[in-house]
Structure 1
Amino acid sequence: MKAIIMNEYGDSNVLQYVDDFPDPILKDDDVLIEVKASAVNPIDWKLRQGYLKQMIDIPFPFILGLDVSGIVKEVGKEVTMFQPGDEVYARADTSRNGSYAEKVAVNQLFVSKKPSNLNFEEAASVPLAALTAYQALRDFAGLGEGERVFISAGSGGVGSFAIQIAKILGAYVVTTTGPKNIDYVKSLGADEVIDYTKNDSLDTEPVDVVFDLIGGKSQIESFSILKEGGRIGSIAGAPDPKLAKEKRANAKGLWVKSSGADLDELRNYIEAGKIKTEIAARFPLEKVKVAHELSETGHVRGKIVIEVAK
């Protein structure tokens, strides 16, 4: 099959396009998905660069890609939830070959039916980012009606879903973005928008929850607006324990889990028109290298999608 493989850690040049990679080996509880579209997430190039090799041991040659949408081609003998011909989307397994390929094997528990109102490219833009936001705000933060939440980088892949999910949960949303995306994040439901190019500090009333998507200086600054006893979760490095102790905060570094059940719930919101997705750019499979380079700029509104098959 056609695929993008890497044989070593490194820059985008380690990504190689091949047309003779072996098909995935199907386990008893796997579905084999004929990939229509994938997407690029920051974790992809962090894995490629070796930043996460202490956490995730990947075998070379390896195929990256965690977001997938496509059609079920085959099912393992213990699969009861899907059948060939089903249109699906999923967040694949980090430790197995991924979706930068014509086919990918995914455990049935990680898979959900594709939202009926999204095409394959739009569906591929959803799983990782939306699951990250959903699990952070619902499960870790327990975000509730009338609470205030600060979401950094609201126009990015995770941020754009987080704003919409926070509004579904009934929260008041404060976010940061650049001047070009102020209207965009407001259209997603942001109640208060801070232009990071004009403000050196966060000028807002204290918040119950901080969802940090940037880390570093931005994360440290967000403690200044967190209420005492509040919650701060980050996907960009564990929150500073000293600052967390000073605020008596529930603080945690967050890691998304693959979940078909959560994707089922997100599908319901998408089909109801409560969550929409934004595609920043589309690339064919053989141009994944360029897609990675764009993602690494850190200035992408929405998601970068890989068109694998028509």
Structure 2
Amino acid sequence: MKKVSFAEFGGPDVLRLIDAEEPHAGPGQVRIAVRAAGVNPVDWRIREGQMQEISPIELPTGVGQDASGVVDEIGEGVEGVEIGDHVFGGGSSTYAEFAVLSAWARMPEGLTFEEAAGYPSVMETALRVIREVGVRPGQTLLVSGASGGVGSAVLQIARDRGITVIGTAGAGNQDYLRGLGALATTYGEGWAERVRRLGRVDAALDLAGSGVIRELVELTGDPRKVVSIADLGAPEFGARFSNVAGSMTEALAEAARLISRGRLRIPVAKSYTLAGAAAAHIDSRAGHTRGRRVVVV
């Protein structure tokens, strides 16, 4: 089978499309014929070696942790799924023609494979950081870097829970944020004052890693009410860097519930081929995404 892999840490040029042996489902797992794989910032952070101190890996290794596809192999002890089911979920080395998933759910009706591949890690992360930051219904959450996949999910989950959101993004994404129910403003010089004019901030999330932790702490007045998924230096300011994943199974169930109710939709900003994985990483690293990027198999 074809699979994206890398044998050394470095830039996108270390990625190779190789011929590899097909993986097989072990106990508690399913294998899918991959139709699409989600592109997450953690994918290129791992490729660059940024995560080695937190979660070390051995090389060579595959790339990707989210996928959608068709179940073609079921591991021992797995119930409630059949060969041919269309599922989305989390696993490993998902930029490939076949991948093993350790958590999955049936795709909600009306969702394409491309769309479904964009939800797993995004939903797990969004639910986790909302929980960790401790924001409650009736309060206001500031989201720095709100237009990407995790931001899109956070805004819609918060709206469903009665939480007001102030979101920062580029000038071209202001209407997108407003369409998801957020009070929107641009980042850049003077952004903190623009946020203050929009209202009080009870808690804040840094999703972009753009060096704003100090300002987020000032805006909330409490470093314990600031969580980042992108700035490893956040603890220097008393804030939390969140990287310990929660339950992917619960996240997929919540995604399916909200999608089925029409309360959640994350658009696909751009699709790539397996051979174009390097371009996907370059674009992901550049940011400014509206929704998700996916690799189509």
Q: TM-score, normalization: structure 2?
A: 0.92
Query: 2 CA distance for matches of 1:143 and 1:292?
Result: 32
Amino acid at match of 1:101: A
Backbone CA RMSD of aligned residues: 1.8
Q: Where does 1:261-300 land on structure 2 (aligned, <5 Å)?
A: 261-300=250-289
Q: Which residue of 1 aligns with 2:217?
A: 223
1:38 deviation in Å? 0.4
Counterpart in 1 of 2:101?
A: 106
Taking the aligned partners of 1:29 and 1:242, their CA distance within structure 2 comes to 40
CA distance in 2, matches of 1:242, 1:307: 39
Within 2, Cα distance between the matches of 1:35 and 1:302? 21
1:52 alignment partner in structure 2: 51
Match of 1:65 in 2: 64
Q: Deviations over 1:256-277 (max 9, x none)?
A: 3351122111111011110111
Over 3 Å counting, the alpha-carbon distance change for 1:147 and 1:23 in structure 2 is: same
Q: Which amino acid in structure 1 is aligned with residue 156 of structure 2?
A: Q
1:254 to 242, 245, 248: 242
What are structure 1's unaligned runs of at least 5 residues? 245-250
In 2, Cα distance between the equivalents of 1:188 and 1:22? 43
Give the aligned partner of residue 247 of structure 1.
none
DSSP 3-state at the match of 2:4: strand
State the 4+ residue runs in structure 1 displaced beyond 3 angstroms: 227-230, 237-244
Query: 2:117 and 2:105 mapped to 1: Cα distance?
Result: 12
**For structure 2, which runs of at least 5 residues remain unmatched after alignment?**
none
Quick one: distance in 2 between partners of 1:267 and 1:111? 11
The answer to whether the 8 A contact 2:70-2:84 is kept is yes
Change (3 A) 1:103 1:258: farther
Report how far residue 179 of structure 1 moved.
1.2
Q: So what's the TM-score if we normalise by structure 1?
A: 0.89
Give the whole-Å Cα distance in 1 for the aligned partners of 2:290 and 2:163. Answer: 23
Counterparts of residues 1-310 of structure 1 (less than 5 Å): 1-18=1-18, 20-92=19-91, 97-107=92-102, 110-137=103-130, 139-190=131-182, 192-197=183-188, 199-203=190-194, 204=196, 205-215=199-209, 217-228=211-222, 231-237=225-231, 240-241=234-235, 243-244=237-238, 251-255=239-243, 256-308=245-297
**CA shift in 2, pair 1:239/1:168, >3 Å:** farther
The percent of aligned pairs where both chains have the same amino acid is: 32
**What is the CA distance between 1:98 and its match in structure 2?**
1.4
Q: Residue 268 of structure 2 contacts residue 292 of structure 2 at CA under 8 Å; is this kept in 1?
A: yes
DSSP-derived class of the 1:296 partner: helix
Q: For 1:120-154, what per-residue CA distance to the aligned partner results, in whole angstroms no more than 9, with x for missing partners?
A: 000001111122111211x2134321111001111
- Count of residue correspondences: 293
